Structure 1
Protein backbone atom coordinates (compact mmCIF):
# COMPACT_ATOMS: atom_id res chain seq x y z
CA UNK A 1 0.00 0.00 0.00
CA UNK A 2 1.46 3.32 -1.07
CA UNK A 3 -0.06 6.80 -0.83
CA UNK A 4 0.91 9.83 -2.94
CA UNK A 5 0.34 13.40 -1.78
CA UNK A 6 1.16 16.45 -3.93
CA UNK A 7 2.84 19.51 -2.42
CA UNK A 8 3.64 22.83 -4.02
CA UNK A 9 6.44 24.88 -2.47
CA UNK A 10 5.28 28.38 -1.62
CA UNK A 11 7.46 31.38 -0.87
CA UNK A 12 6.57 31.12 2.83
CA UNK A 13 8.13 27.61 2.88
CA UNK A 14 11.58 28.91 1.95
CA UNK A 15 14.49 30.61 3.67
CA UNK A 16 16.37 33.67 2.45
CA UNK A 17 18.15 31.59 -0.20
CA UNK A 18 14.85 30.35 -1.67
CA UNK A 19 15.42 26.83 -0.33
CA UNK A 20 12.75 24.96 1.62
CA UNK A 21 13.39 25.45 5.34
CA UNK A 22 14.22 22.06 6.88
CA UNK A 23 11.30 21.98 9.35
CA UNK A 24 8.81 22.31 6.50
CA UNK A 25 9.61 18.80 5.28
CA UNK A 26 8.13 17.58 8.57
CA UNK A 27 4.99 19.60 7.81
CA UNK A 28 4.77 18.09 4.33
CA UNK A 29 5.00 14.52 5.61
CA UNK A 30 2.49 15.30 8.40
CA UNK A 31 -0.03 16.55 5.83
CA UNK A 32 0.55 13.42 3.76
CA UNK A 33 -0.04 11.15 6.79
CA UNK A 34 -3.27 12.98 7.63
CA UNK A 35 -4.45 12.66 4.03
CA UNK A 36 -3.49 8.97 4.00
CA UNK A 37 -5.52 8.23 7.15
CA UNK A 38 -8.50 10.22 5.87
CA UNK A 39 -8.30 8.38 2.54
CA UNK A 40 -8.75 5.11 4.43
CA UNK A 41 -12.01 6.49 5.83
CA UNK A 42 -10.69 7.16 9.32
CA UNK A 43 -11.80 10.48 10.81
CA UNK A 44 -9.17 11.35 13.43
CA UNK A 45 -11.38 13.98 15.08
CA UNK A 46 -14.24 11.50 15.43
CA UNK A 47 -11.81 8.87 16.74
CA UNK A 48 -10.62 11.31 19.40
CA UNK A 49 -14.17 12.27 20.36
CA UNK A 50 -15.77 8.81 20.30
CA UNK A 51 -12.95 6.56 21.53
CA UNK A 52 -10.49 9.01 23.09
CA UNK A 53 -7.69 7.78 20.81
CA UNK A 54 -5.04 9.97 19.18
CA UNK A 55 -1.90 9.24 17.17
CA UNK A 56 1.39 10.53 18.58
CA UNK A 57 4.83 10.69 16.98
CA UNK A 58 7.21 8.49 18.96
CA UNK A 59 10.23 8.80 16.73
CA UNK A 60 11.35 10.33 13.44
CA UNK A 61 14.59 9.50 11.67
CA UNK A 62 15.10 11.95 8.81
CA UNK A 63 17.57 12.19 5.95
CA UNK A 64 17.93 15.40 3.95
CA UNK A 65 19.31 14.51 0.51
CA UNK A 66 18.74 17.53 -1.76
CA UNK A 67 17.02 20.90 -1.63
CA UNK A 68 13.57 21.81 -2.81
CA UNK A 69 13.03 25.39 -3.93
CA UNK A 70 10.29 27.95 -4.33
CA UNK A 71 7.54 26.85 -6.74
CA UNK A 72 8.72 23.21 -6.97
CA UNK A 73 6.03 20.58 -7.33
CA UNK A 74 6.76 17.75 -4.90
CA UNK A 75 5.23 14.38 -4.14
CA UNK A 76 5.19 12.81 -0.69
CA UNK A 77 5.11 9.02 -0.83
CA UNK A 78 3.93 7.15 2.26
CA UNK A 79 4.06 3.40 2.79
CA UNK A 80 3.67 1.12 5.79
CA UNK A 81 6.83 -0.37 7.23
CA UNK A 82 5.65 -2.30 10.29
CA UNK A 83 2.57 -2.64 12.45
CA UNK A 84 2.31 -3.90 16.02
CA UNK A 85 -0.32 -3.59 18.73
CA UNK A 86 0.13 0.12 19.47
CA UNK A 87 2.80 1.09 16.93
CA UNK A 88 2.83 1.93 13.25
CA UNK A 89 6.06 2.58 11.37
CA UNK A 90 5.79 4.53 8.13
CA UNK A 91 8.37 5.22 5.44
CA UNK A 92 7.93 8.61 3.81
CA UNK A 93 9.78 10.22 0.94
CA UNK A 94 9.60 13.65 -0.63
CA UNK A 95 10.39 13.61 -4.35
CA UNK A 96 10.70 16.16 -7.13
CA UNK A 97 10.22 14.60 -10.57
CA UNK A 98 11.39 11.25 -9.19
CA UNK A 99 14.46 12.69 -7.42
CA UNK A 100 14.62 11.81 -3.71
CA UNK A 101 14.98 15.00 -1.66
CA UNK A 102 14.03 13.85 1.83
CA UNK A 103 13.20 10.57 3.52
CA UNK A 104 11.95 9.71 6.97
CA UNK A 105 11.02 6.71 9.04
CA UNK A 106 8.19 7.77 11.31
CA UNK A 107 7.03 5.75 14.30
CA UNK A 108 3.51 6.52 15.48
CA UNK A 109 1.76 5.16 18.54
CA UNK A 110 -1.88 5.31 19.49
CA UNK A 111 -2.65 6.74 22.91
CA UNK A 112 -5.56 7.71 25.08
CA UNK A 113 -6.14 11.39 25.77
CA UNK A 114 -4.43 10.97 29.15
CA UNK A 115 -1.26 9.62 27.51
CA UNK A 116 -1.65 5.86 27.98
CA UNK A 117 -0.73 3.53 25.09
CA UNK A 118 -3.70 1.80 23.51
CA UNK A 119 -4.07 -0.69 20.65
CA UNK A 120 -4.26 0.79 17.18
CA UNK A 121 -7.88 1.20 16.12
CA UNK A 122 -9.26 -1.94 14.50
CA UNK A 123 -10.32 -0.05 11.36
CA UNK A 124 -6.71 1.08 10.80
CA UNK A 125 -5.20 -2.34 11.55
CA UNK A 126 -7.55 -3.99 9.01
CA UNK A 127 -6.54 -1.55 6.29
CA UNK A 128 -2.76 -1.67 6.77
CA UNK A 129 -2.35 -5.43 7.14
Structure 2
Protein backbone atom coordinates (compact mmCIF):
# COMPACT_ATOMS: atom_id res chain seq x y z
CA UNK A 1 0.00 0.00 0.00
CA UNK A 2 1.83 3.10 -1.29
CA UNK A 3 0.64 6.69 -1.11
CA UNK A 4 2.18 9.69 -2.84
CA UNK A 5 1.74 13.39 -2.03
CA UNK A 6 3.11 16.24 -4.12
CA UNK A 7 4.82 19.01 -2.13
CA UNK A 8 6.27 22.23 -3.56
CA UNK A 9 9.31 23.77 -1.83
CA UNK A 10 8.64 27.38 -0.93
CA UNK A 11 11.11 30.05 0.10
CA UNK A 12 10.01 29.66 3.73
CA UNK A 13 11.11 26.00 3.62
CA UNK A 14 14.73 26.85 2.86
CA UNK A 15 17.70 27.96 4.94
CA UNK A 16 20.38 30.56 4.31
CA UNK A 17 22.09 28.24 1.83
CA UNK A 18 18.90 28.00 -0.24
CA UNK A 19 18.24 24.34 0.54
CA UNK A 20 15.37 22.80 2.47
CA UNK A 21 15.97 23.21 6.20
CA UNK A 22 16.40 19.73 7.68
CA UNK A 23 13.45 19.92 10.09
CA UNK A 24 11.06 20.73 7.25
CA UNK A 25 11.41 17.20 5.90
CA UNK A 26 9.66 16.10 9.09
CA UNK A 27 6.79 18.44 8.23
CA UNK A 28 6.64 17.06 4.70
CA UNK A 29 6.40 13.46 5.90
CA UNK A 30 3.82 14.43 8.54
CA UNK A 31 1.63 15.75 5.72
CA UNK A 32 2.25 12.53 3.80
CA UNK A 33 1.09 10.42 6.77
CA UNK A 34 -2.01 12.55 7.27
CA UNK A 35 -3.01 12.25 3.62
CA UNK A 36 -2.24 8.51 3.64
CA UNK A 37 -4.68 8.07 6.54
CA UNK A 38 -7.25 10.29 4.83
CA UNK A 39 -7.04 8.13 1.70
CA UNK A 40 -7.66 5.07 3.90
CA UNK A 41 -10.89 6.74 5.01
CA UNK A 42 -9.60 7.71 8.45
CA UNK A 43 -10.66 11.14 9.71
CA UNK A 44 -8.18 11.86 12.52
CA UNK A 45 -10.19 14.76 13.96
CA UNK A 46 -13.34 12.61 14.15
CA UNK A 47 -11.34 9.70 15.57
CA UNK A 48 -10.03 11.93 18.37
CA UNK A 49 -13.46 13.40 19.07
CA UNK A 50 -15.33 10.07 18.97
CA UNK A 51 -12.94 7.68 20.68
CA UNK A 52 -10.07 9.81 21.98
CA UNK A 53 -7.55 7.93 19.82
CA UNK A 54 -4.58 9.90 18.51
CA UNK A 55 -1.20 9.02 17.01
CA UNK A 56 2.18 10.00 18.37
CA UNK A 57 5.53 9.50 16.71
CA UNK A 58 7.43 7.04 18.87
CA UNK A 59 10.53 6.71 16.74
CA UNK A 60 12.06 8.09 13.55
CA UNK A 61 15.16 6.83 11.81
CA UNK A 62 16.04 9.36 9.11
CA UNK A 63 18.64 9.73 6.39
CA UNK A 64 19.26 13.00 4.58
CA UNK A 65 20.52 11.90 1.17
CA UNK A 66 20.46 14.96 -1.14
CA UNK A 67 19.29 18.56 -0.81
CA UNK A 68 16.00 19.91 -2.10
CA UNK A 69 15.89 23.53 -3.21
CA UNK A 70 13.44 26.38 -3.61
CA UNK A 71 10.66 25.66 -6.13
CA UNK A 72 11.42 21.92 -6.39
CA UNK A 73 8.36 19.74 -6.81
CA UNK A 74 8.77 16.81 -4.44
CA UNK A 75 6.89 13.58 -3.93
CA UNK A 76 6.36 12.28 -0.40
CA UNK A 77 5.87 8.53 -0.59
CA UNK A 78 4.36 6.63 2.34
CA UNK A 79 4.30 2.84 2.56
CA UNK A 80 3.09 0.56 5.32
CA UNK A 81 5.80 -1.72 6.70
CA UNK A 82 4.00 -3.23 9.70
CA UNK A 83 0.87 -2.79 11.78
CA UNK A 84 0.55 -4.32 15.23
CA UNK A 85 -2.26 -4.02 17.74
CA UNK A 86 -1.17 -0.53 18.85
CA UNK A 87 1.57 0.56 16.42
CA UNK A 88 2.09 1.40 12.78
CA UNK A 89 5.50 1.36 11.11
CA UNK A 90 5.89 3.28 7.85
CA UNK A 91 8.66 3.90 5.35
CA UNK A 92 8.56 7.42 3.96
CA UNK A 93 10.69 8.78 1.15
CA UNK A 94 10.90 12.30 -0.24
CA UNK A 95 11.84 12.31 -3.92
CA UNK A 96 12.55 14.80 -6.66
CA UNK A 97 11.79 12.95 -9.88
CA UNK A 98 13.48 9.57 -9.39
CA UNK A 99 16.11 10.78 -6.90
CA UNK A 100 15.57 9.98 -3.21
CA UNK A 101 16.40 13.05 -1.09
CA UNK A 102 15.24 11.91 2.35
CA UNK A 103 14.22 8.53 3.75
CA UNK A 104 12.69 7.71 7.11
CA UNK A 105 11.23 4.79 9.00
CA UNK A 106 8.54 6.10 11.32
CA UNK A 107 6.90 4.24 14.19
CA UNK A 108 3.54 5.61 15.32
CA UNK A 109 1.90 4.66 18.60
CA UNK A 110 -1.86 4.83 19.06
CA UNK A 111 -2.75 6.62 22.31
CA UNK A 112 -5.89 7.36 24.26
CA UNK A 113 -6.87 10.79 25.59
CA UNK A 114 -4.60 10.28 28.60
CA UNK A 115 -1.56 9.46 26.50
CA UNK A 116 -1.60 5.72 27.25
CA UNK A 117 -1.05 3.16 24.48
CA UNK A 118 -4.24 1.58 23.12
CA UNK A 119 -5.21 -0.71 20.28
CA UNK A 120 -5.71 0.77 16.83
CA UNK A 121 -9.33 1.69 16.15
CA UNK A 122 -11.20 -1.20 14.52
CA UNK A 123 -11.85 0.67 11.25
CA UNK A 124 -8.18 1.52 10.83
CA UNK A 125 -6.99 -1.99 11.70
CA UNK A 126 -9.41 -3.37 9.10
CA UNK A 127 -8.29 -0.86 6.47
CA UNK A 128 -4.64 -1.73 7.06
CA UNK A 129 -5.33 -5.46 6.92
CA UNK A 130 -7.25 -5.03 3.64
CA UNK A 131 -4.60 -2.80 2.07
TM-score normalised to structure 2 length = 0.97
Compute the RMSD of aligned alpha carbons.
Answer: 0.6
Partner SS for 2:3: strand
2:102 corresponds to 1:102:
yes
Aligned pairs for 1:1-129 (under 5 A) are 1-129=1-129
Q: Which runs of 4+ in 1 moved over 2 A?
A: none
Aligned length: 129
What is the CA–CA distance in structure 2 between the aligned matches of 1:76 and 1:98, rounded to whole Å? 12
Unpaired segments ≥5 residues, structure 1? none
What is the CA–CA distance in structure 2 between the aligned matches of 1:101 and 1:51, rounded to whole Å? 37
Unpaired segments ≥5 residues, structure 2? none
TM-score normalised to structure 1 length = 0.98
Partner SS for 2:95: strand
Following superposition, the deviation at residue 125 of structure 1 comes to 1.2
Deviation sequence 1:92-122 (CA, Å, 0-9, x none): 0000011000000000010001011110111
